[in-house]
Amino acid sequence: MDRFNAFMERYFMPVAGKMAEQRHLKAIRDGIIAVMPLLIIGSIFLIISSPPIPSWAEFMSQYAPVLNIPVNATFGLLGLIAVFSIAYNLAVSYEMDGLSAGVLAIAAFFVATPLSEEGNIPLNLMGSEGLFIAILLAIFTVEVYRFFEKRNIVIRMPDSVPPSVWRAFTALIPGAAIIAIVWGIDLLLKASFDLSLHGVVGAVLREPLQMAGGSLWGAIIAIILIHLLWSFGIHGISVVASVMAPIWYSLTEENVAAHQAGEELPNIIGQPFMAIWWAVGGSGMAFALTLLFVWRARSKHLKGLGRGSIGASFFNISEPVIFGAPVVMNPLLFIPFILAPLAVGIVTYFSMSLGLVGKPYVIVPWTTPPPISGILTTGDWRGGVLMLFNILMAMVIYYPFFRLYDKQLLAEEQNEEASGAEDTTTPTAKQG
């Protein structure tokens, strides 16, 4: 185990640490997070229009077309909002004008978007189908803008000019270059291959990544990486989600569209699966471990930690347990910390693929407690039952490791109490 820790600290941790702080990945992560409130709002209307109660769902079906308007206005704008928010966050990280960068990124996004035969903007490309080109164009826009600004190839105004005015003039030259480049590439693709930038990015990037990220093996690799990072004190989901979140949201939007059309949901893996199902109580199925602390712990440390953190864990906040137990750099706990969510993810995947439980299509706040989150994400009461089963399974996986650690802490506490008692009696003995 010491050799493994040394290997991880020498080779794995520096790479993971750099990824966690990498400017572009952080901008993508923060930009996607900015879309979350809209997606949660859209999911609320989706639940109202298609509730998990069959009789209610039948009654609400007559109102579904009207209730789907807010759904389309939120999920359907995922790419458009992301291109602005990612460009904004990246520009701010460079201490540039985030608003100008975001506006220019939107303009580039529309230039790259092919119109329909009627001359309208295709709404499907404003949503998840346009998410990957939105990421690329946001980064491209900011980097070109920065290139011009660093070399002072911008229009400078006197200091007496209001900031809102000089910022607009500063963006003129780089903005014209950005739009001209995107427009030129798009024209070249249409003339040479009868393709658009959306089509090229979809074929080269989006579809292969969705196939990989939407597979069971892709989910397994992501779960292992997330918990390996956590085991060494790095916020695992932040690192992995900065790369994978666009794929997970895109897969979820496909499920939403299929649900609205009354079709079978195409994907199991998506944002609800990766954010909720294997992370009950937070990363590592921490709620299961916290229940063991409260219910079975004999050491004062784990018993007190369990009682103090059970409320937070119920709402999927795992940091008190991860750093309080601790799980970090603790081989007795970080082994089941990886195994428990891995087992839960596999069991959940096959339960959904076999039709025992509905596939997830609703995005809920990550603090939604179990088993409510299981029911809401799938629209299926059996989702709540499966989530409770998963908690019990995680407790079984944790139990032998927990018992060993609890005994170790109990022995240490008893030794400390014994030594403390000796310290208090020794002076008295000498005095007598």
pLDDT in tens, 156-165: 777 777 777 7
Residue 431, number of CB atoms within 10 A of its CB: 6
**Which of the listed residues 214, 246, 280 is the one where a domain comes to its end?**
214
* pLDDT of 432: 36
Lowest mean pLDDT among 3-17, 90-104, 155-169, 328-342: 3-17
Q: How many domains does the chain have?
A: 2
Q: What is the pTM of this model?
A: 0.75
pLDDT at 255: 92
Query: pLDDT at residue 242 above 80?
Result: no
Rounded Cα distance between 76 and 257, Å, is 9
Q: Distances in Å between the alpha carbon of 57 and those of 258, 267, 393?
A: 16, 22, 32
Residue range 386-403: average pLDDT? 95
Sequence-separated (6 or more) residues with CB below 8 Å from residue 186:
111, 112, 196, 197
How confident is the model at residue 421, as a pLDDT?
A: 63
For position 101, what pLDDT does the model report?
94
Give the separation between CA 244 and CA 223, rounded to whole angstroms: 11
Q: Are residues 16 and 64 in the same domain?
A: yes
Question: Does 428 map to a domain?
Answer: no
Choose one of 214, 244, 273: the last residue of a domain. Answer: 214
Q: Can you state the angle between helices 98-112 and 172-193, rounded to 10 degrees?
A: 20
Same domain, 209 and 222: no
Could you tell me the two tokens for 275? 């954010």
Q: What is the pLDDT of residue 176?
A: 94
Give residue-wise pLDDT tens across range 214-225: 899 999 999 998
Choice among 88-92, 306-310, 343-347 with the minimum mean pLDDT: 306-310
pLDDT at 354: 95
Return the structure tokens found at 1: 């185990």
* Helix 64-75 with 36-49: angle, nearest 10 deg: 160
User: Are the C-beta atoms of residues 317 and 282 closer than 8 Å to each other?
Assistant: yes
Residues 223 and 206 in one domain: no
* pLDDT score recorded for residue 11: 58
- The reported pLDDT for the residue numbered 431 is 42
Mean pLDDT, the chain, rounded, equals 86
Q: How many residues does the chain have?
A: 432
Q: Is residue 242 domain-shared with residue 207, that is, in the same domain?
A: no
Domain shared by 206 and 226, yes or no? no
Q: Are residues 296 and 323 in the same domain?
A: yes
Res. 338: pLDDT tops 90: yes
pLDDT at 41 over 60: yes
Residues 223, 127 share a domain: no
Q: Range of 337's domain?
A: 215-420
Which range in 69-73, 112-116, 272-276 is most confidently predicted, on average pLDDT? 272-276
Whether 55 is in a domain gets the answer yes
430 pLDDT tier (thresholds 50, 70, 90): very low
pLDDT at position 429, please?
46
**Minimum mean pLDDT among 46-55, 68-77, 114-123, 188-197: which range?**
46-55
Per-residue pLDDT at 62: 82
C-alpha distance from residue 319 to each of 238, 271, 397, 428 (Å):
13, 21, 20, 44
Same domain, 221 and 281: yes
pLDDT digit string (tens) for 274-283?
989 999 998 9
> Based on the domain organization, do 315 and 257 belong to the same domain?
yes
Same domain, residue pair 181 and 233 = no
| Same structural domain, 141 and 281 | no
How far from chain centre, in Å, is Cα 319? Answer: 16
Residues 286-311 as b/e (b if ≥16 CB within 10 A, e otherwise) read bbbbbbbbbeebebebbbebbeebbe
User: Is residue 425 in a domain?
Assistant: no
Mean pLDDT across 78-88: 93
Question: Hey, is 154 helix, strand or coil?
Answer: coil
| Last residue within a domain, chosen from 184, 214, 244 | 214
Same-domain status, 328 and 201: no
Structure tokens at 183: 């427009």
Does residue 349 belong to any structural domain of this protein? yes
